[in-house]
Amino acid sequence: MMRNWLLIFYLALLVGCTAVNEPTLRPTATPIVIPTSELKDRTLRLFWWQAPKVVNPHLTSATADRDAARLIYEPLASFNADGELVPVLAAEIPTFENGLLDPDLKWVRWKIPAGLRWSDGKAFTAHDIKFTYDFIQSEGAVTASTYNAVESVDVVDMQTVQVNFKDTNPAWALPFVGTEGMIIPGHIYSEASEAPVPSVGTGPYQLLSANTEEVLFLGSELVTTVKLIYEVNPYYRGKEDLYFRRVEMQGGGTAVEAAGAVLQFGDVDFAYNLQLEGDVLDRMVEEGNGVGRLMNSLGGRVEFLSLIQNDPNDTTFTTPHSILNVAADESNLLVAQAIAHAIDKEAIAALYGPTGAEANAILFAPANFRSEQDFYPYDLDRARQLLAQAGWADTNGNGIVDRDGRDLSLTLRTGPNALRQATQRLIQQSLGEIGIDLKLDVSGQFFSTSTAIPNSLWAGTADMPMFTNGNQTPDPTSYMREWTCARIPQATDGSWVGVNVARWCSDAYDALYAQVVAETDPAMREQLFKQMNDMLVQNGIVIPLISRARVSGVSNQIEGVELTDWDSHLWNIHEWRRKP
């Protein structure tokens, strides 16, 4: 259970009554004074149309929340765009050669430089790394699965920590790395009697205030947004090189408003996650006449259909789906295959333009893990043959195939987003051509993990939910774990835990996962991951649609932005500059 004092700040962001400040946590170092004439130039304006609500990175899986936290907190290391491990807080990357990595991959040691400080002036030590691990284990953190292979974390000395694994661990570089590895201050979270403002970190900035603010978007509608204001961490090790002395992060509105603000009107310097059709974004860039540009990071994120195996009308999840459950009826696999053959991925990719690429694999990146198999190319005739083979035919002439007096009707559900709704319509049209009646559903609470929400992704009440998922690091171990039997969603304390929303359980898949976790040979690991991908796709559990780039809009005045799909887009914000 989370401690009550952790909730106060989060609720303050939700209700937005007043600014959030905690004077007792303010740094004692001499503040950096910016002349009023320079303040506008030295203020970086960020826009997320999905508003941040939680700034502790271990208590949220929302990208906006983790991005808000990434300005404050840092991991020991991260992965650049090429998937290379680079140090952040660590003094160096562990290797066999420097003696920091066990030859049997059963432990890794991380060293941190002397002199690192938190933004309140306290020393950063190995004890903070151990505290973060203990916090993750005791607080029901959403990042806990990244640490499943960890047996213990031991403080060797003030500058060295050793992470011990339960067994040989080829994925040794996942704990304390990237967005799921941010270190939180033990002296704040363990000693605070009231809710601490999460402004005490090692990152370049600290949170000054959080307010709600009404903004007039596109001159027509007032929208309530969350506005976070950051200032320079006076103890940041590279503070002299920081160009921006103030950062404003606005959250709320829509993707259209976010795109317009950065690409057309120049109201902000950076806008994240511009989920709009490719031609719409291109037109905005053109109409902006040089105001902003698009930047993409193409990684492991795949938009796909998950074909649920349970009856959507049975809330106990004990009844197999009569049309899609591949274990209950062999003919159901033929239906799943027909659906896969009928979807025109090229047309869907055209919606995204340069921000999407056709995907035949659920494990898309890095490329060495991607399966070469294309099991279900677009083929309407083959799709019709498969339905007929499964016993489905249009016996009453209404244009919908039926069997045993029942029309083949399914529901596709997703969240509200212009691209997703356009994708829904294309899939509906394609399936209609082979005689499947596809009903479209859009849920504003699609991504809610509350068990009280009947139309969420986790609730299992739609035949085919559509969403994006992907590996957060170049090592896909944690990602491919999500289809094991243990990850079938369970209701715990009012929330769903587990993301195997298809509710598919295969002993063969679990065996492959157990094998890849222990395998140290890189070539063999690649083959095992490909087998796991092929089992999911070939068995009709998932239908990959496109690999989705994370698209951001960047002001043409801003330079130094380097995007990686393996960390927050703000990972190198300390290097951003405004052009003269």
pLDDT in tens, 169-179: 999 999 999 99
**What local confidence, expressed as pLDDT, does residue 297 receive?**
87
β-pair type (406-407, 558-559)? unpaired
Band the pLDDT of 220: cuts 50, 70, 90: low
Pairwise CA distance, residues 532 & 519, whole Å: 14
pLDDT over threshold 50, residue 12: no
Reported as a single tens digit per residue, the pLDDT across 455-513 is 999 999 999 999 999 998 899 998 999 999 999 999 988 989 888 999 999 999 999 99
**What local confidence, expressed as pLDDT, does residue 59 receive?**
86
Q: Which residues of 149-180 are buried (b: 16+ CB within 10 A; e: fewer)?
A: bbeebebeeebbbbbebeeebbbbbbbbbbbb
DSSP-assigned letters across all residues of 227-250:
EEEEEE-TT-TTGGG-S-SEEEEE
**What local confidence, expressed as pLDDT, does residue 36 receive?**
60
Closest CA to 110 of 76, 69, 140, 72: 76
pLDDT over threshold 90, residue 63: no
DSSP-assigned letters across all residues of 411-471:
EEEE-S-HHHHHHHHHHHHHHHTTT-EEEEEE-TTTT--BTT-TTSSTT--SSEEEEEE--
Query: For the residues 1-26, what does the mean pLDDT come to?
Result: 33
- Confirm if 251 and 48 have CB atoms less than 8 A apart: yes
Question: pLDDT exceeding 70 applies to what percent of the chain?
Answer: 90
How is residue 80 written in tokens? 């650049």
- Range with lowest mean pLDDT among 60-64, 102-106, 146-150: 60-64
Query: For the residues 542-557, what does the mean pLDDT come to?
Result: 95
Query: For the residues 525-554, what does the mean pLDDT come to?
Result: 96
* Owner of token pair 């259909």: 305
Closest CA to 279 of 418, 424, 416, 428: 418
- Confirm if 52 and 228 have CB atoms less than 8 A apart: yes
Pairwise CA distance, residues 270 & 221, whole Å: 21
* E-strand stretches of 166-291: 205-217, 221-232, 246-251, 270-272
pLDDT over threshold 80, residue 24: no
pLDDT over threshold 70, residue 413: yes
- pLDDT averaged over the chain? 89
Closest CA to 210 of 480, 490, 21: 21
**Cβ count near 53 (within 10 Å):** 18
pLDDT over threshold 60, residue 256: yes
- Confirm if 431 and 339 have CB atoms less than 8 A apart: yes
**What local confidence, expressed as pLDDT, does residue 61 receive?**
79
Long-range contacts of 421-426 (CB under 8 A, 24+ apart): 422/277, 422/351, 423/303, 423/348, 423/351, 423/466, 423/545, 424/466, 426/344, 426/347, 426/348, 426/351
How is residue 200 written in tokens? 């005490």
pLDDT over threshold 60, residue 444: yes
Superfamily of the domain at 302-472+541-548: Dipeptide-binding Protein; Domain 3 (3.10.105.10)
Query: For the residues 98-122, what does the mean pLDDT come to?
Result: 97
Pairwise CA distance, residues 350 & 348, whole Å: 5
Question: pLDDT exceeding 90 applies to what percent of the chain?
Answer: 74
How is residue 575 written in tokens? 């290097």
**What local confidence, expressed as pLDDT, does residue 133 receive?**
97
Reported as a single tens digit per residue, the pLDDT across 312-338 is 999 999 999 999 999 999 999 999 999
Band the pLDDT of 140: cuts 50, 70, 90: confident
Pairwise CA distance, residues 554 & 137, whole Å: 38
- Range with lowest mean pLDDT among 17-26, 361-370, 399-408, 416-425: 17-26
- Range with lowest mean pLDDT among 18-32, 151-165, 361-375: 18-32
